[in-house]
Chains A and B, each alone.
Chain A
């Protein structure tokens, strides 16, 4: 395959011969000779077979991790190797190995489907191009903030033992009360100091720690065309969901997720690491390319239809749609406990549309604060620092 430079030099050559007639001078012909010589040189060094292979460690990566890719390139000349993640440029003399470190800056699943290999000879006259079928994938999970202890907890718990202090008394670690001894009480629960004071046997009572169902309702619908703002809000929302899911999977509670993006999707509550990876895997595909026309009622319907009542619903939403507050009221009426985490870009833009959007959101927040716990989260701060102050 000839390059554009080759054809340009041919045209130069032809036009210079033509100019020699126009100027009635042999000088343009003389000046055309270097181009002819360059074309002749390029004929002597034609490249051979071109190919490229890539190796990398296939494991789970977190946003911000650095991966090492090893490219083995075969061919002679200047090259451009392009795959789904990297682009390499340089010169290779027959065979070369390139180690490239790549920072995985954005979460998501990277599928390596094709690799484009482009080679040019040393004078840029001949080129070889090959689109090679590629395989492999890279999963980059959203960055998770470490939370040692989260103060938010469901108001209602299930019967199974877990990590949340419940209103029921029973076996647990949190001391709540002292009562009179009744036959059948364990001797180790006798409070001897209180017994000596009251002159009768008294026993300690503890809060029973139970498990709870938590549903993360992630609203990542796209309402406006601004790519940058959407990306920022989406990244913050997804990181928040991943952080909460990871934390909840450590506390023996069941956790599920409902996603509102281009379409609605959900994962039924499950325990432990399995739940965590199910949710994290699903979060890799939430990025929307189109403006969403999905109503929040779908989310409400999925929660009330598939998740048990008394579940703790953590709604992560920038609160940009008008139908959200009524849906929350309906969920509260159906006995769900709701915490709203609303990521926002405070004061990001000063234009009229942004100001109106911001004011509408403020009104919505004020309404929601009447009947639910609401966290107005400026995404320039870490989520953990905001959640630390809630009760």
Chain B
């Protein structure tokens, strides 16, 4: 199972240069960022440090941003490509991490990972078509929403509340 976790990442990295084929500069930049990602992957396979796992995955996300640089970011088609590729990367992260650490991965974990993509797509769609984020008040609303959300997510949990009978 752990072996299969590399397949989504392989497809992801292999398909990135195809989206950057229109511009030589972006194509070379994409190749460079994919190369860096592969380098960190090799380092990770040698050192086996979890931190490097997240570093190479972030490098892969940066490669995606670089390869889609020529595309119109507000186009829903660009988002479709971006999210499809990001789904492959998320599948790699979850498949690899869970099968390596726990030996199994549950179906509901994968379902929630896949569900995050259409929800993000819908969120952006709302932002683009309903103009929630435009203008001063729109941007303020969006920023405060993100800040409130981050506050709730980052807040520390005490041992008592997590282990309460």
Contacts and interface: CB of A to CB of B under 8 A. Distances in A.
A124 interface: yes
Nearest to B51: A4
Given A31-B61, A34-B120, A46-B162, A122 B112 contact: yes
Contact of B116 (A5, A34, A78, A122): A34
A25 B69 contact: yes
A122 B108 contact: yes
A38 B113 CA distance: 7
A15 interface: yes
B47 interface: no
Contact of B123 (A33, A35, A47, A78): A33
A362 interface: no
Interface in A91-143: 91, 120, 122-124, 126, 128, 130
A1 interface: yes
Contacts of B144: none
Contact of B65 (A5, A28, A36, A41): A28
Interface string A70-83: 00000000111000
Contacts of B3: none
Given A5-B97, A31-B61, A34-B116, A126 B162 contact: yes
Contacts of A381: none
Interface residues of B, number: 54
Interface string A21-36: 0010111101101111
A25 B117 CA distance: 20
B161 to A, nearest CB: 9
Given A46-B162, A122-B109, A124-B97, A89 B120 contact: no
B65 A31 contact: yes
A60 to B, nearest CB: 32
Nearest to A24: B73
Interface residues on A, range: 35 or more
B58 A90 contact: no
Interface string B67-102: 011010110001100110011001001100110011
Interface in A44-64: 46-47, 49-50
A90 B73 contact: no
Given A26-B74, A124-B94, A41 B116 contact: yes
B117 A34 contact: yes
Contacts of B90: 34, 38
Nearest to A38: B116
A37 B82 contact: no
B153 A10 contact: yes
A43 B161 CA distance: 13
A121 to B, nearest CB: 9
A220 interface: no
B149 A40 contact: yes
A314 B26 CA distance: 79
Interface string A288-302: 000000000000000
Contacts of B87: 34
B102 A79 contact: yes
Nearest to B99: A89
A119 B160 CA distance: 15
A25 B162 CA distance: 40
Interface string A212-226: 000000000000000
A53 to B, nearest CB: 16
A91 B82 contact: no
Contacts of A16: 61
B62 interface: yes
B135 interface: no
A25 B72 CA distance: 9
A390 to B, nearest CB: 51
A213 B162 CA distance: 64
Contacts of B129: none
Given A40-B153, A49-B163, A27 B82 contact: yes
Contacts of B165: 49
A268 interface: no
Given A26-B74, A38-B113, A1 B162 contact: yes
15 contacts: A27-B65, A27-B73, A27-B78, A31-B86, A33-B123, A34-B83, A40-B149, A41-B115, A43-B153, A47-B162, A78-B106, A79-B102, A89-B103, A126-B162, A128-B163
Sorted nearest first, the 3 A-B pairs with minimum C-beta distance are A33-B120, A8-B54, A37-B116
